[in-house]
Amino acid sequence: MPKRWEQYKGKSWITCNGRCVCARNLSVFYLTLLLVVVFSGLFFAFDCRFLAVNLSPAVPVFAVLQCGFVLACLLRTTLSDPGIIPRAGPDEAAWMEAEMASHSTVPQYETLRDIRINGRLFKLKFCQTCKLWRPPRASHCSTCDNCVDRFDHHCPWVGNCVGRRNYRYFYLFLASVTVYCVYIMVFGCINLVILSRQKNGDFIQVLRESPTSLVVILVAFFSLFSVVGLGGFHTLLICRETSTNEDIKDLYNTKRNPDLINPFDHGGGCANFCYILFGPTAPSLAKFDSELDPEWRPPPPPLRTENPRRQSQPQRPVSQQQQQQQQQPSSLHNQQTRYPSPVGLPPVQFVSGSDGGRVNGIGGVGRGGGNDDLAMATVSSSASSLSANRNRKPSGYGGRSSVTSPTTSASYIV
């Protein structure tokens, strides 16, 4: 019987019969693993060996324990299912689209729905890739092509998404790396001090005895800066019960809106911290290591019912011409019009008045005075271009001006 991971269509790499999930691009993760292993080996080979004899044998023991804990948290974060939400199959996707269309009031079905959690209104988004309604804190990772529950971010240093099921291991990795870097720096400096006393302050001779101590101390020092900042940021997020994705979107900013509450808060910073680190691990939603049920089928698609809003609206009367257009296909050749050909307008004559055009300030033929002075305008045009030169003005008064266009010609006598 096939397993669920065999039907997986995302970009994650699933190994060990569905028990290990990670990203396909692991180049940065290999760099992280190489830094931890190589510099730990140098610290064990030179500093710990000298300190075990001249200081205490407990120094290398604690170093090995810390290094093992760092590697365990790193591998657990990398190879764990972060909370992937399984995407719908072909039958289930068709049923989902039919169900959404049956409840929609527009031809294109809606992709947002409202849900209220602890008095806070959230909008559920429909993922067009996975064909599912995402939970409130879930998001789609473009790198792994998965919808992840309580999505925090995609971390290339660990080679996986950070979500609900592996966030605690990611935070423990940051905390353990911080402690381990401080441990290496402190005992590396102690190693150099003891060697300098034995060599009477000859620094060149000290470097010959332990050539890698200074290099390991510098690497731990610069690594500590980046890790401490990231660890402090995630400590603040844990106390507020907020993910990195939610913090970027500024969903629970109480400084701007004091009435804004976080519905996922467990009752304070300590309660949130204990829940994230020591709470129960959420079960896997994808269950890649389980077998498929060949008898499972999605429910039948619902029948599309008429929208009650449309039923309550009165029907408008339909004319005979609209009925003919509905029966016939809509094209340019079968539209019934009242006129079989374009309509030509006869010449139009405008009379300015008996006061020589002094009322409107235009003037007639006899500007000096006359009883019935006329201002003639001859216009020939088609019905489609009657207003082409409506806003055009003659170039001046007392002369003759003409305006010509491809469809309209006009001559003014002023």
In tens digits, the chain (414 residues) has pLDDT values of 677 777 788 889 998 888 899 999 999 999 999 999 999 999 998 889 889 998 999 999 999 999 999 999 999 999 999 999 988 776 666 766 666 666 555 445 556 667 777 667 777 888 888 888 888 889 999 999 999 999 999 999 999 999 999 999 999 999 999 999 999 999 999 988 888 888 777 778 888 878 888 899 999 999 998 899 999 999 999 998 999 998 888 877 766 766 677 888 888 889 999 999 999 999 988 888 887 776 666 566 555 444 444 444 455 555 665 555 555 544 444 444 444 444 444 444 444 444 444 444 444 444 444 444 433 333 333 333 434 444 444 444 444 444 333 433 343 333
The boundaries of the domain holding residue 33 are 4-89+150-278
In a shared domain, residues 238 and 361: no
Classify residue 377: in a domain, yes or no.
Answer: yes
Domain boundary among 238, 256, 278: 278
Mind giving me the DSSP string for 129-172? TTTEEPPTT-EEETTTTEEETT--EEETTTTEEE-TTTHHHHHH
Count how many domains the chain has. 2
pTM to 2 decimal places: 0.67
Whole-number Å distance between alpha carbons of 191 and 64 = 17
Q: Which tokens go with 343?
A: 């309509």
The two tokens of residue 175 are 């905390």
Q: Which structure tokens are listed for 281? A: 């691990």
DSSP state of 333: S
211/71 same-domain check: yes
If asked whether residues 222 and 368 sit together in one domain, one would say no
CA–CA–CA angle 252, 253, 254 (5° rounding): 105
Decide if 411 is inside a domain: yes
Query: CA 298 to CA 98: how far, in whole Å?
Result: 12
Question: Has residue 215 been placed in a domain?
Answer: yes
Q: Which of 278, 297, 323 is the last residue of a domain?
A: 278
Last residue of a domain, one of 223, 258, 278: 278
Active-site choice (22, 48, 155, 181): 155
**Other Cβ atoms closer than 10 A to 179:** 13
C-alpha separations of 98 from 110, 115, 403 in Å: 12, 21, 60
Q: Do residue 162 and residue 29 come from a single domain?
A: yes
The residue written with tokens 């609900």 in the block is 164
Same domain, 264 and 369: no
In a domain, 165, yes or no: yes
254 and 371 fall within a common domain: no
Active-site annotation holds for 155: yes
Residue pair 254/260 in contact (Cβ under 8 Å)? The answer is yes
Looking at the structure, do residues 172 and 79 belong to the same domain, yes or no? yes
Nearest to 230 by CA among 164, 181, 288: 181
Q: How far apart are alpha carbons 264 and 267 in whole angstroms?
A: 9
Report yes or no: 151 and 245 within 8 Å, Cβ to Cβ. Answer: yes
Residue 139 lies in a domain: no
